[in-house]
């Protein structure tokens, strides 16, 4: 046999063995989480679920970034906002900007000024982080709070799925100004609750990607003079950013050899970005709150300090200020009504959009123009260049004054609104999750984030490969077979499609005898303690919900018993005694699952006594006893128990 035939036979056998070692790749669900300062949006795509955002328990497409703990009961999202009205000091909001910060950081100082009822201290001995103290004794790191929100998002996804498959792969968005340390904390927060981070994407880049994906448009090659350039202006609750994105067709390169792949893909490249991390709708809401408190004080002679110190009063005014700000975006005037601000005093205050804009003139005009001016200080940008559109995203860009400032600055008659200002980033992140996940086929669209290396063909950088003579090829004992779970993007379609950026490995690896990574805020030991702490809180949540479910079932049973036309003496006395026990019994007994279950079964047997049915045939007699159904299931629900923290 010739050496060519021998080599061919060896190759066939090798391919056959590799094929046997690769199991069938099934399609798994993937999710996205758009983390904002005020809101969180969650996306899901799975074999049985169309790619879209997931509704929360209140049937809303976005969830407040809020966590409340009151009387040992934890609330997340909308229920937490309700708790904040009565107990603002027991509720944590707008905490995303605190991740990866020390006590001396400017973000922490501004947060303490905005929310003086939240006590913040340095996390000793780990002084590279902070602690938010709860008035009932516990303390939480920003990582723990973010992890709770991510876990809540995962619960939403699992409730949406009709199968028992677990979704663990996720793409998250983060603000454009997050540095390596802040991004590392977000990754660790996701990993603490058992999720695998495929990628972190900047929110401004996600909006730019959303425009490219969901707009049906043909793009020109990169060297064409007719390239498409879009300016995105994003203003949310706490930050503002301006971004220039270029869209064109790019010939793809092999990431290893850097040679051409004979494949051209649409690409969005972030050319420039600037931001103001302390400018957003929250600042304007706080100024409106202060205006309302001042007007109330003048009309009632109640000192302003008294309103602010009464946390419930200040929280009530703050919430109404947020609502009024949104109303004035669509109306020229409004009558503010707040019942019982303090000491049984109500508030009636008319306000106009002009007044609101006047009290925020420096924010709406001066600082907005300053951001745009900084954007065009870059040598690669030009205010006079021909942008195809200036697109506004972010909730606070609904403010008419901001839109007018932008139109005046660029001398435009209208602004672009083709990207969903609330959901565009979340949907783009979900597209990335499907692209990076297993088993999905999606339209290819490359994202080159700001500062990333661009893979472009350069003959001087092409790696020259040599062919080894076949007769000296030796089998390798240390080269692993291809991983069947690695997607085509992992194998390298473009540098912008790598699963997780290099900092991911650095932030989660603690190799011995190496210099500690300065971007790592929490050690493995600390993360394990956090994981156990969140697991305990999660189990307490389940126990509370199960107690509530069983109590509701018992009360429904009592109502059914009272509605009966005929009641035995024993049943009637049992109904009265049990209702009295539910209303006035000791808390320890009412919270005891065993006692609750026993009461439920006892009354059920009185209302629905077991019945016996006898069936006789020519040869046999069969007796069947109908037993009551068991008490409500007390085990944690299946969705909750799927993830072990």
Count CB-CB contacts under 10 A for residue 436. 22
Segment 413-438 mean pLDDT: 94
Q: Which residue has the higher pLDDT, 548 or 108?
A: 108
pLDDT digits (tens, 9 = 90+) for 265-297: 999 999 999 999 999 999 999 999 999 999 999
Q: Mean pLDDT over residues 362-370, rounded?
A: 96
Q: Average pLDDT in the 363-372 region?
A: 96
C-alpha to C-alpha distance for 172 and 202, rounded to whole angstroms: 9
Question: Global pTM?
Answer: 0.80
Q: Quick one: average pLDDT of 491-502? A: 31
Structure-model confidence comparison of residues 462 and 299, the more confident one = 299
Question: Using an 8 Å Cβ cutoff, are 596 and 517 in contact?
Answer: no
- Answer with the residue of higher pLDDT: 621 or 345: 345
| Average confidence (pLDDT) over 533-555 | 88
DSSP per-residue codes, 347-413 = EEEEEEHHHHHHHTHIIIIIHHHHHHHHHTTSTT--TTS--SEEEEESGGGGSHHHHHHHHHHHT-S
Please check the confidence at residue 224 and state whether its pLDDT lies above 80.
no
For the chain, the average pLDDT equals: 83
Instruction: State percent of the chain over pLDDT 70.
Output: 82
Phi, psi torsion values for 629, nearest 5 degrees: -65, 155
Categorize the per-residue pLDDT at 615 as very low, low, confident or very high, splitting at 50, 70 and 90. Answer: low
Q: What is the pLDDT of residues 231-254, one digit of tens each?
A: 999 999 999 999 999 999 999 998
495 or 431: which leads in pLDDT: 431
- Residue 19, pLDDT score: 36
Whether the predicted pLDDT of 123 surpasses 70: yes
Which residues, in sequence order, are bridge partners of residue 228? 247
Q: Among 17-21, 171-175, 212-216, 626-630, which stretch is predicted with the lowest mean pLDDT?
A: 17-21
What pLDDT does 627 receive?
52
DSSP β-bridge partners for residue 251: 264
Token look-up 């036979």 returns: 9
CA 309: distance to chain centroid?
32
The per-residue pLDDT for 595 is: 86
Q: Give pLDDT tens digits for 455-493.
A: 888 888 888 765 554 443 343 333 333 333 333 333 233
pLDDT at site 515 = 57
The token pair that represents 16 in the structure block: 């056959």
pLDDT surpassing 70 at residue 518: yes
CA dihedral 153, 155, 158, 164 (to 10 degrees): 140
pLDDT of amino acid 27: 56
CATH no. for 281-362: 3.90.640.10
Using DSSP, state whether 245 is helix, strand or coil: strand
Q: What is the pLDDT of residues 61-107, one digit of tens each?
A: 999 999 999 988 999 999 999 999 999 999 999 999 999 999 999 99
C-alpha span between 546 and 637 (Å, rounded): 9
Which pLDDT score, from 0 to 100, does residue 308 have?
93
Q: Residues 80, 89: contact at Cβ < 8 Å?
A: no
What is the pLDDT, as a whole number, of residue 484? 32
Residue 235 pLDDT: 96
Reported as a pLDDT band with limits 50, 70 and 90, residue 38 is very high
Whole-number pLDDT of residue 620: 63
The whole-angstrom separation of Cα 261 and Cα 495 is 13
Residue 638: pLDDT over 90: no
Q: Which residues, 6+ apart, have CB-to-CB distance to 387 below 8 Å?
A: 229, 230, 231, 244, 410
Q: Tell me, what's the pLDDT at 137?
A: 87
What is the model's pLDDT at position 582? Answer: 86
- Give 408-415's long-range contacts (Cβ < 8 A, gap of 24+): 409/369, 409/372, 410/231, 410/383, 415/389, 415/390, 415/391
Mean pLDDT of 598-612: 81
- Average pLDDT in the 1-8 region? 46
Please check whether residue 396 is in contact with residue 236, taking contact to mean a CB–CB distance below 8 angstroms.
yes
Element (H, E) at 625: strand 621-626
pLDDT at 536: 93
Q: Write the CB contacts of 234 (distance below 8 Å, at least 6 apart in sequence).
A: 203, 204, 207, 240, 241, 242, 243, 392, 393, 394, 397
Sequence spans of domains, the chain: 281-362, 544-641
231, β-bridge pairs: 244, 390
Tokens standing for residue 129: 């982080």
Q: What is the mean pLDDT of residues 175-182?
A: 95
d(CA 103, CA 101): 7
Q: In sequence order, which ranges of 22-166 are alpha helices (DSSP H)?
A: 78-86, 106-114, 142-160
Return the pLDDT at 532: 95
Report how far residue 343's alpha carbon sits from residue 341's, in angstroms, rounded to the nearest whole number: 7
Q: Each residue of 141-173: pLDDT tens digit?
A: 999 999 999 999 999 999 998 777 789 999 999
């Amino acid at each position: 046999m010739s050496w060519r035939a021998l080599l061919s036979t060896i190759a066939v056998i090798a391919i056959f063995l590799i094929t046997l070692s690769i199991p069938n790749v099934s399609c798994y669900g993937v999710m996205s989480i758009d983390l904002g300062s005020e809101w969180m949006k969650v996306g899901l795509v799975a074999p049985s679920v169309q790619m879209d955002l997931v509704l929360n328990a209140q049937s809303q497409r976005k969830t407040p970034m809020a966590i409340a703990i009151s009387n040992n009961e934890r609330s997340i999202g909308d229920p937490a906002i309700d708790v904040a009205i009565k107990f603002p000091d027991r509720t944590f909001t707008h905490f995303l900007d605190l991740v990866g910060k020390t006590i001396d950081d400017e973000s922490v100082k501004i947060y303490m000024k905005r929310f003086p009822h939240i006590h913040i201290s340095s996390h000793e001995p780990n002084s590279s982080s902070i602690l938010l103290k709860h008035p009932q004794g516990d303390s939480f790191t920003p990582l723990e709070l973010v992890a709770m929100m991510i876990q809540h998002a995962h619960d939403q996804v699992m409730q949406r799925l009709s199968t028992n498959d677990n979704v663990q792969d996720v793409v998250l968005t983060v603000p454009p100004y997050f540095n390596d340390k802040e991004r590392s904390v977000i990754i660790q927060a996701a990993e603490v609750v058992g999720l695998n981070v495929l990628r972190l994407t900047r929110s401004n880049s996600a909006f730019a990607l959303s425009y490219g994906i969901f707009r049906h448009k043909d793009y020109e090659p990169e060297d064409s003079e007719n390239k498409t350039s879009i300016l995105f202006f994003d203003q949310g609750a706490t930050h503002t950013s301006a971004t220039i994105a270029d869209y064109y067709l790019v010939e793809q390169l092999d990431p290893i050899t850097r040679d051409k792949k004979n494949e051209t893909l649409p690409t969005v490249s972030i050319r420039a970005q600037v931001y103001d991390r302390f400018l957003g709708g929250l600042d304007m809401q706080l100024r409106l709150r202060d205006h309302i408190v001042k007007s109330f004080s003048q009309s009632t002679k109640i000192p302003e300090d008294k309103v602010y110190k009464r946390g419930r009063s200040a929280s009530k005014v703050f919430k109404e200020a947020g609502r009024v700000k949104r109303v004035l975006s669509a109306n020229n005037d409004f009558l503010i009504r707040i019942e019982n601000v303090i000491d049984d005093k109500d508030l009636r205050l008319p306000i106009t959009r002009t007044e609101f804009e006047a009290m925020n003139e420096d924010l709406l005009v001066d600082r907005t123009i300053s951001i745009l001016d900084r954007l065009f200080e870059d040598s690669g940008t030009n205010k006079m260049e021909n942008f195809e559109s200036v697109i506004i995203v972010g909730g606070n860009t609904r403010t008419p004054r901001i839109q007018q400032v932008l139109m005046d600055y660029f001398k435009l008659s209208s602004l672009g609104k083709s990207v969903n200002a609330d959901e565009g980033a979340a949907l783009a992140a979900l597209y990335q999750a499907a692209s990076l996940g297993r088993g999905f086929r999606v339209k290819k669209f490359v994202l080159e984030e700001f500062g990333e290396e661009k893979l472009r063909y350069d003959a001087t950088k092409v790696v020259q490969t040599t062919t080894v003579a076949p007769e000296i090829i030796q089998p390798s004992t240390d080269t692993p077979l291809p991983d069947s779970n690695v997607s085509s993007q992992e194998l390298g379609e473009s540098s912008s499609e790598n699963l997780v950026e290099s900092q991911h490995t650095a932030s989660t690896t603690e190799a011995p005898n190496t210099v500690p990574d300065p971007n790592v805020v929490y050690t493995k030991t600390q993360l394990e303690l956090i994981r156990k702490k969140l697991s305990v809180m999660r189990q307490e949540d389940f126990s509370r919900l199960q107690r509530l479910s069983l109590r509701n079932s018992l009360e429904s049973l009592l109502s059914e018993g009272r509605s009966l036309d005929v009641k035995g003496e024993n049943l009637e006395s049992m109904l009265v005694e049990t209702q009295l026990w539910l209303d006035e019994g000791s808390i320890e007994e009412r919270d005891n699952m065993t006692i609750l279950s026993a009461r439920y079964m006892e009354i059920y047997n009185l209302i629905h006594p077991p019945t016996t049915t006898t069936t006789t045939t020519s040869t046999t007699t069969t007796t069947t006893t109908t037993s009551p159904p068991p008490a409500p299931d007390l085990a944690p629900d299946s969705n909750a128990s799927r993830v072990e923290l």
